[in-house]
């Protein structure tokens, strides 16, 4: 489906016009905006906070099914006055609701980009923290500096011991340090022949940066988290894909880079839209594609810039995939439908409000 805005507390969409402050907001999702009333395991959301006010340690948002207790996990983190977005594969409660808990105060915006049926091979889980180098959860209690951390995800947080092809994670870097260049974190299966030339999130010093990741699970269950720079790593799991499901995960591969002219012109995207044909040999004929989108060399208007990713056969939606300020390097994950008929077959569009180089890594795909 084309992304559609289902919640905006600034404008009274899905909730009253008011910031959410140290409380939980419930949103009915099933049976609205083309989502079926039953049989839905989870929805893909892009969640954004605006006009944020955070405590000294930082604020956060946790997205979870409304019929379970508030989990010890977070989906995005923010400081005062930040605009922050993150992708969430959000499980629904039995009656079709999603809850958003805000620690701190912020306006909440949510765009829904798709949904997963209960019989599609995806099993949604209430978010659960399965690794923290900050607290020594399933890892040595130390910051990771220019190094890898390995995590066996099988049997943790509700993930089975076998039959798992991929897991849906929220990965957060905290207590960050960098050298001359910004830091980054790459998530990949530890049995890959080499670390991929791709990143899942980017950070500057003293930042708290989350991102959603659908990570390939190898036969031994070991997923690697590589940090360039220094950071504590927090990992929350919120679902898993069974072997033989419609989703196929791949080791991240770079399919677009405007800095280097990879599959597009070698120039920043400046208040315009760039189309990318994603029907490469390895992705031919797919129904949707999972991407990690990064902007860098950014120049934003005073109100901030943003990127919207959408199928090119649809009008550009009133939705955003990521938000940026001038000078920021920001990444976010997105699952986008791929057109299968007409003149835009295979084309995914990237609209930039402001100016930025756009880098895109493919992490998996869904067959029609």
Name the pTM for this structure. Answer: 0.89
pLDDT at position 119 is 66
pLDDT at position 231 is 98
Q: Which of 245, 266, 298 is the last residue of a domain?
A: 245
pLDDT at position 368 is 78
Do 241 and 251 have their domain in common?
Answer: no
Do 240 and 262 have their domain in common?
Answer: no
Q: Which of 117, 142, 164 is the last residue of a domain?
A: 117
Do 362 and 259 have their domain in common?
Answer: yes
pLDDT at position 1 is 78
pLDDT of 281 above 90: no
Q: Which of 245, 275, 307 is the last residue of a domain?
A: 245
Q: How many domains does the chain have?
A: 3
What is the C-alpha separation between 14 and 240, in angstroms, rounded? 28
Do 254 and 362 have their domain in common?
Answer: yes
Give φ, ψ of 231 to 5 degrees.
Answer: -170, 150
Round the average pLDDT of the chain to a whole number and report it: 94
pLDDT at position 2 is 84
pLDDT of 254 above 80: yes
Do 185 and 218 have their domain in common?
Answer: yes
* Minimum mean pLDDT range among 61-70, 100-109, 114-123, 192-201: 114-123
pLDDT of 355 above 60: yes
CATH number, domain of 34, equals 2.60.120
pLDDT at position 335 is 92
Give φ, ψ of 57 to 5 degrees.
Answer: -80, -5
- In this structure, is the dihedral angle defined by the CA atoms of residues 309, 330, 124 and 364, taken in order, positive or negative? positive
Do 179 and 200 have their domain in common?
Answer: yes
pLDDT of 12 above 60: yes
Q: How far is CA 100 from CA 20, 25, 130, in A?
A: 9, 5, 21
Closest CA to 344 of 314, 299, 306, 305: 314
Do 102 and 129 have their domain in common?
Answer: no
Closest CA to 207 of 236, 170, 232, 186: 232
* CB-based contacts of 46, cutoff 8 Å, min separation 6: 3, 85, 86, 87, 88, 110, 111, 113, 319, 320, 321, 332, 334
Do 136 and 215 have their domain in common?
Answer: yes
Do 160 and 274 have their domain in common?
Answer: no
Average pLDDT, integer, range 200-210: 92
Average pLDDT, integer, range 286-290: 91
Do 10 and 66 have their domain in common?
Answer: yes
What is the C-alpha separation between 54 and 122, in angstroms, rounded? 34
Are residues 92 and 124 in contact, defined by beta-carbon separation less than 8 angstroms? yes
The two three-digit tokens of residue 230, written as one number = 């220094």
pLDDT band at 230 (very low <50, low <70, confident <90, very high): very high
Do 7 and 111 have their domain in common?
Answer: yes
Are residues 66 and 60 in contact, defined by beta-carbon separation less than 8 angstroms? no
Average pLDDT, integer, range 1-19: 95
pLDDT at position 268 is 98
Do 219 and 284 have their domain in common?
Answer: no
Tell me the β-bridge partners of 165.
none
Closest CA to 341 of 285, 291, 289, 290: 285
Percent of the chain with pLDDT over 70: 99
> What is the residue range of 213's domain?
121-245
């Amino acid at each position: 489906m084309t992304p559609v805005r289902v919640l905006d507390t600034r404008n009274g969409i899905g909730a009253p016009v008011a910031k959410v402050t140290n409380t939980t907001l419930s949103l009915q999702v099933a049976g609205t905006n083309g989502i079926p009333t039953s049989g839905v395991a989870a929805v893909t959301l892009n969640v954004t906070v605006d006009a944020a006010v955070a405590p000294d340690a930082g604020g956060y948002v946790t997205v979870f099914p409304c019929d379970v207790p508030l989990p010890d996990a977070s989906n995005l983190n923010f400081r005062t006055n930040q605009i922050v977005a993150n992708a969430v594969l959000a499980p629904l409660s039995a009656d079709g609701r999603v809850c958003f808990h805000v620690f701190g105060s912020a306006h909440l915006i949510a765009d829904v980009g798709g949904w997963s049926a209960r019989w599609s091979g995806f099993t949604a889980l209430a978010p659960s923290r399965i690794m923290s180098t900050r607290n020594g959860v399933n890892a040595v209690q130390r910051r990771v500096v220019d190094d890898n951390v390995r995590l066996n995800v099988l049997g943790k947080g509700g993930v089975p011991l076998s039959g798992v092809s991929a897991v849906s994670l929220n990965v957060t870097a905290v207590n960050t340090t960098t050298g001359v260049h910004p830091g980054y974190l790459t998530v990949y299966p530890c049995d890959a022949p080499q670390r991929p030339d791709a990143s899942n999130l980017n950070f500057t010093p003293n930042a708290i940066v989350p991102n959603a990741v659908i990570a390939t699970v190898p036969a031994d269950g070991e997923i690697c988290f590589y940090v360039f720079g220094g950071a504590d790593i927090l990992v929350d799991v919120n679902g898993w894909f069974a072997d033989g499901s419609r989703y196929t995960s791949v080791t991240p591969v770079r399919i677009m880079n405007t800095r280097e002219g990879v599959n597009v012109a070698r120039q920043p995207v400046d208040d315009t839209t760039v189309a990318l044909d994603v029907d490469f040999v390895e992705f031919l004929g797919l129904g949707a594609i999972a991407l990690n989108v990064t902007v860098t060399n950014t120049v934003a208007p005073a109100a901030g810039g943003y990127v919207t990713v959408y199928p090119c056969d649809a009008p550009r939606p009133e939705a955003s995939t990521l938000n940026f300020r001038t000078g920021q390097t920001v990444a976010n994950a997105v699952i986008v439908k791929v057109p299968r008929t007409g003149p835009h077959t295979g084309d995914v569009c990237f609209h930039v409000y402001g100016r930025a180089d756009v880098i895109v890594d493919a992490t998996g795909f869904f067959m029609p």
